Structure formats: C-alpha cells, structure tokens
A and B are shown apart, each in its own frame.
Chain A
C-alpha cells in the first residue's frame, strides 16, 4: 500500500447482538490532517476506530484506502496487513521489551542496525533518546505514551489511529505530551484519527472534528465551523456549554437581533460586558475561575444567563452591569 492517501469510511455499520453501535457512518481521514472523533462514552467512537483499523469486520458499508477497499462485506484485510498505527489509552507497551525494542517491534523487515537507528530517531524525535534502555515499568505515564507514539510512527503507517491517547495522563503532563505527540503525528503526514470525549482537546488538536452520538456521525467540519454553525443542539452541546433561555426573557433590543424562535441556547461568550451595551442586568453571582470570571446575570425572576469576563475585579451580587449580545453565539433551539 502506498502512503499519503486518504482513508474513507462509507456508510459503515457495525452491530453487536443486533444493536447498531455504528450506524451508516461516513468519514474521510485526509493525509497530513488530524480528524477528531468527539462524543460521550458509548457513542461508538472506539468501535469506528476499530473498524478503520481492521480489528473488527463491518456489517455494512466499506472502508477504502485511497481507491482500494480494505473492508467491505466481501473483503476484510486483517489489521496486521493494513500498516495502521494504533495508539491506546493504556499505552500497550510490550512489558518484556525496553523502549528502543518496543519502538523497533514493527520494523522486522529492517536489519538490526537499521532498526536500531530508526527506533533511536523516533525516540529522539519524541524527546526520549535518554530513556532508550528503560523498560515500560521504569517510564512515567507521559514517557510511556510517547514511546507508544514513536513505535506507531516508526513503522511508517498509512494512518495513525489514537484511542483516547491522553486520557490516562495527569493534567499537568497532558498538554506537554499532547503537543509533542501531535506535532510528530502531523509531521509524519499520514491521515490521523483522534478519538476523544474532551471537546477542548478536539478543538485544540484537530483540523477537523466529527461529532458522534448513538453510533451516528451528526456533523463533521472544522472546529470553527462546528462551534459557530452546529447543525443541531446535540452538536452545539458536544462542543461546549450552553444555556437555554426563552425569547420572552431576553431584553427587547436583543430579541430584535436574533431569528424568531421560542427558545434559544446561548454560549457564555454570547453576553459581553460592554460599557456601551444595550442592556443593564443585575449580577446574581460571580466567580473567578483562574483567568476568567463567570458571572450569572438576572433576566427575569426565574431565568438567568451566564457571561464570561476578563479583568481584575469580580463584581458582587446586586451590581448592575452594562452588557451587549453577540448573536453569532446564540442558536435558535429546534
């Protein structure tokens, strides 16, 4: 199989005991791009990844590498023949091999010297050349995951599939490991799939995001487009927090700015502190969360909305604030 070709899933379905866990899913992984598969646990993300990898047969549809079908009802190229790099949450390092031998595991066609050289190059690329002789149990979680990424990349895969690769890491390690790892993945140029339940991770890391729920891909697009133009409330909710508000509760000037609907969902950024704002709202509560201040503002006796603010001072309950509405962050609930 040649490299740097897109991988397509077309109308893929997978059933367990008659129940579809992936239903008619279509997704293309482009070379040099990271596609994130975002959804709650049980959404079918990992199953779709396993179908891409060839770890499971499919019940309908097909998976193609370039123009060549690798999975269909009549054909199934086994995982070991697909040259797909897999990266797991539990790292899956071989406990009896040290870091350099783990990285060299898939390079059986190379002679010993060449294999060592390639493995060393990838360890170096992931900042681990000094840990080449260490066994998995001697490595930290972050180091183990970087070894597993080096191992997958060293085999020059036609695609990289990552199943919640950073979920097992401490918060402090996560962003550093993610940055190093994804830079290496992007540099390798293969199509890459990142399965995650973390919207901010998907937004940060991916070129494109596919939102999945109950086995169905709801929408697939760039992070920006998905965030601002979700096709459904489910997609909007998957990308970030929302607050429901009835039309009648909004100040009159704001009602004129948004399309007609009974209920709206607002992102926190929809309401801005603005000295020239067209509404004055009373603060119910305010809380600093590191750099941002979360402010709850009173609309009616029973309804409130949230606003985010930067700045040195946290307002107190009862304060009146001038605010304006950014309609691009308001979605009419359907």
Chain B
C-alpha cells in the first residue's frame, strides 16, 4: 500500500467511499475526541485543584514508574527468549516457540488475582517456603504483589508476548548475509547479538513494547485490585467515588498524552531504519546448535519465564476452582451477557474495520482518516473512551442504566478495537498483488463490482483472524464495561473483578478461567500460523 505523502495529500472530491469512511472514522474517533474536548475545555473547579495539589503528582509518577518497570521486565522476558528461539537450537525450542505466546490469553487482571492469592502469606508459595525452611511468617521478607513492582511484574507477564512476537519476527528476518559477514569479520556470538542483531531488531522490539506499554497504561483491573494508584485508577475513582466527571476527563487527557507519548517514543526509536521487512529472496539464517550446558541453561530460562508468567497463575486458578467446586456464584447470566456483548461489539468493530480497510484502498483521504481514527481509538484507554460515551449519554439525556448504555458500550468496544481488527484485513490486502484493482478495472469491473468481486473476497481471507481477535479483546475488556454496563448486567470480566475485589477469589476463578480459555483458542491459532509461516519461509 502506498505511503501517505504530505506533499501530495489533497482533499478528494466527496465520493461515496470517502463519505462512508469518514462516517466510520467519526464513529471510531468520537469518544476519544469528546473525552479530550471535555477534559481540555471543561473546568475542573475546586475538585481539580484539590487533585492537582494532593494526588496528581502521585498518580502520574506511579503510572510512569509502572510503565518504566514493566518495560524493563518485558525486555528481560521477551528479547533473550526471542533471540534463542529464533536463531539457536536447544532442548524444547519447538515447544517454547509457540508456548511463550500463551500468556497473551490471560488478561492482566486475571493474573493479578491469581498471583495475589498464590504469593499471599497463606498461599501455596509462602507455605511451601515455610515448610521447607522451618521459618515462621515473621522470620523472612517476601516481596508483595500489592506494590508497583508487583503490578509491573503482573503486567509484564501478561503483555511480554507482544514484544516477544515482534522481536522473534525481526530476528528470524535477519539476513543470512549480514550475519555471515559479521561472523567473517570476527564477531563473537555476544557481539553478533549486541552489535548486529539487536540494532537491526530494535524498531520491531520497540513496536511490540510500545503496544504492551499502552495496554499497561490503560489497565484498570490489575492496578485497582493490587491497590496501585495509577492514573486509570484515579480516573475511575474521580468519576465513580467522587462523582467528578470533569476531573476524570482532565486526568484522562493526561493518560492519553502518556499513550501518545509512548507512540511518539516508538517512532523516534524506529529512527530512519524502519522495520526490517522480509524480502522474497531473503534467506533465514540457520539456527546454531547450542552446547549441552548452554542449551539446557536456555531451556531452563525459557521454562522459568513461562512458569512465572502463565503456568503458576493459571494452575493456581484451576486449583482454587477445583478445590472449592465450580458452583461458586452465578455464571450463566454473566456468560450470556459476555457472549452477547462480545458478539455485538466484535461484529460492529468488524464492520468498521472492513469499511476503513476497503476505504483505505480507494483514496489517500480515506486511508489517512481511517487509520488516524482507528489509531487514536486503540491508543486511548477503555476508561477514557467510556468517559467520552458517558458525556454523550448525559448530554443526550439517555439513562446510564438503560439499554442505551449497552448500545454505547458496543460502540466503545468498536472504537477501542477496530484497529486490532483492521490489522489482519490489511495483512490480507498486503499479501495480494498491488495492481489487483487496475487488473479488475481493465477487465471492465465497475467500482461497485470491484468492491464486491475483488476487495471484499480478498479482505475476507483475513476475516476469521480479525473476528477472533475482536471477539477475545471485547470479551476481556474490563474498565469500559465496568463504567457503562447497566445495573445487573455483569459480564464475566466484571463478575471476576467484583468477586476478586470482595476477596471471594474462589468465585472469581471460574469467570477468570472462562475468559482465559476463550483467549487460548486464538492465541494457539495465531501461534500455529506464525510457526507454520516461519517453517515455510525456512523451507522456501
């Protein structure tokens, strides 16, 4: 697809495609625009001044500290594992290649509940420690999950696969010639990694990292449960506990600035190099076999990352739920509610994603406006978008408790996740030859016929991936659902959060496990697809 050139960008004639894309982009971008507008224009009054003098610095510094620490942990988890899995042969490599993506299935808040229970004084880890050492609880120090480092660890566990995936792709795409040239110039494996591979993969690693950190900044469930006072928690509290939506909107602007700041840093880090692309004739380097000591050392390292990020928390949830029986709490209604909202939200997001993807093929204006709106919606935390929707609800006089709120919630899901759904649809087009549209034109196909006979079928080859991603993202969403759902309309995520917050972890496990199980399917699918793509590239 052609890049947008500022010098040749013109407003197009108002053709139907541009108008439809503009309408879709407006729907996607409206909640974030309204939240920003209200935050900037609306006065916060005394409450805002009070927040500024007492809590603003704390919220901001805590959020930045969580982001910084999470970034460091993600790099620690993702980069070495990606390097060894891509370019080295060691025991279990084939398993770790896909298994290290599994943590993506569990949302951060679910890992937070599990870790809080597992690492509790009465939990299995500390109990085992006492059993082995014979110490009592007062005789030793144990790190608390209810802290900035604890939250950072939980978020890094849930989100490091983003950076792992992009780093793995970048390492696999390294040119054999570059690596062999470096080796022939006497580069040791360490220098090869630090001076050749890492700089080449840096843009891709930063792209994955930025995505993970935007999710970290947007998190409400884990931070709130672990009692870490981030901006998201502050926004929710300003709106819910203090009934100060104007203050919440001002805090939301700060959070958006942080999200956009992360995007900006990612672009800066990308530099002039851009993300390395795989050329058709690019040969993937052959994996180097590690010696037995190094090989088993790497295997143990990978195991440790997987156990800490996925195996311990998920098996703890399974243990608790089987120990206490699955009948804790009502599950059918929240399950059906989740299903209904996820289906409606993902369907709406899918239609919008399809509209902006096809619109982008038609003219540069549609391409720009669609991508800009989807990017803004994706960067904005769910809590901010929900705030935007609440402002619209109050201006239009609809009841927050009525069915209108549900429609708004579906809208917010679409606004937040359209970009994620557009990604696989775009990928479907990028795999297709660039001159497809002109070929269809030369064969007499009108604009409408091209849409129906070429663009839609080509986009639909990415449809199943888009639909699955959208469904799972919507199912996992917590803060916007928490703010916008009508009374008595709990979803699995909301119910898990409510039970966990009430210290009824046993009851929270089943909805948490259901969300994780729903996430596992697409993650395994994605993992298999990526592995197969890697194998066919290596074979080709």
Contact = CB atoms under 8 A, between A and B. Distances in A.
Interface of A: 16-17, 53, 55, 78-86, 88, 90-97, 105-106, 108, 148, 151-152, 155, 157, 161
Given A95-B431, A96-B457, A86 B8 contact: no
Contact of A95 (B435, B438, B461): B461
Given A79-B442, A80-B441, A80-B446, A91 B7 contact: no
B457 A90 contact: no
Contacts of A86: 435, 438-439, 442
Contacts of B458: 94-96
A285 B441 CA distance: 54
A88 B433 contact: yes
Contacts of A97: 457
A88 B435 contact: yes
Contacts of B435: 86, 88, 90, 92
Interface string B434-456: 11101111111110000001100
A17 B8 contact: yes
B49 interface: no
A78 B441 contact: yes
Which 4 pairs from chain A and chain B are nearest by CB? A106-B443, A92-B439, A86-B442, A96-B457
A332 B442 CA distance: 45
Q: Which of A78, A88, A151, A157 has the most CB atoms of chain B within a 10 A radius of its CB?
A: A88
A160 to B, nearest CB: 10
Contacts of B436: 92, 94
15 contacts: A16-B8, A79-B441, A80-B443, A80-B444, A86-B439, A86-B442, A91-B433, A92-B436, A95-B431, A95-B461, A96-B457, A96-B460, A105-B445, A105-B453, A106-B444
Nearest to A152: B442
B177 interface: no
Given A80-B441, A90-B435, A155-B444, 13 more contacts: A79-B441, A79-B442, A80-B444, A82-B442, A90-B433, A94-B439, A94-B440, A94-B454, A95-B431, A95-B458, A97-B457, A105-B453, A152-B443
Given A17-B7, A86-B438, A95 B432 contact: yes
Nearest to B445: A80
Contacts of B461: 95-96
Nearest to A93: B433
B446 to A, nearest CB: 6
Nearest to B436: A92
Given A105-B443, A106-B443, A155-B444, A92 B438 contact: yes
Interface string B196-207: 000000000000
A152 B434 CA distance: 17
A309 to B, nearest CB: 36
A92 B444 CA distance: 15
B440 to A, nearest CB: 7
A79 B457 CA distance: 22
Contacts of A83: 444
B444 A81 contact: yes
Nearest to A88: B435
A88 B439 CA distance: 8
A86 B442 CA distance: 6
Contacts of A157: 442
A157 B445 CA distance: 14
B443 A88 contact: no
A174 to B, nearest CB: 16
Contacts of B441: 55, 78-80
Contacts of A53: 438, 442
A105 B434 contact: no
Contacts of B443: 80, 105-106, 151-152, 155
B438 A105 contact: no
Contacts of B446: 80
Contacts of B454: 94
A190 to B, nearest CB: 13
A85 B438 CA distance: 10
Nearest to A96: B457
Contact of B442 (A17, A80, A90): A80
A82 B445 CA distance: 11
Most buried by B among A79, A82, A148: A79
Contacts of A80: 440-446
Contacts of A151: 439, 443
Residue of B8, B435, B453 with most chain A CB atoms under a 10 A cut-off: B435
A60 to B, nearest CB: 20
Nearest to A86: B442
Nearest to B439: A92
Interface string B400-444: 000000000000000000000000000000011111101111111
B50 to A, nearest CB: 55
A197 B438 CA distance: 22
B532 to A, nearest CB: 14
A92 B438 CA distance: 9
Which of A93, A96, A148, A157 has the most chain B CB within a 10 Å cutoff?
A96
Contacts of A88: 433, 435, 438-439
Contacts of A17: 7-8
Nearest to B447: A80
A219 B99 CA distance: 64
Contacts of B438: 53, 55, 79, 86, 88, 92
A151 B7 CA distance: 37
Given A53-B442, A79-B442, A90 B8 contact: no
A178 to B, nearest CB: 19
Given A79-B438, A155-B444, A92 B433 contact: yes
A155 B442 CA distance: 10
Interface in B1-21: 7-8
Interface string B50-74: 0000000000000000000000000
B33 to A, nearest CB: 33
Among A78, A105, A148, A155, the most chain B Cβ lie within 10 Å of the Cβ of: A105
Nearest to B429: A95
Contacts of A108: 444
Q: Give the residue among B7, B434, B443, B460 with the most A Cβ atoms within 10 A.
A: B443
Contacts of A148: 439
A106 B445 CA distance: 7
B57 to A, nearest CB: 50
Contacts of A106: 442-445
A161 B442 CA distance: 10
A91 B435 CA distance: 8
Contacts of B460: 96
Contacts of B434: 90, 92
A70 to B, nearest CB: 13
A90 B432 CA distance: 10
Contacts of B431: 95
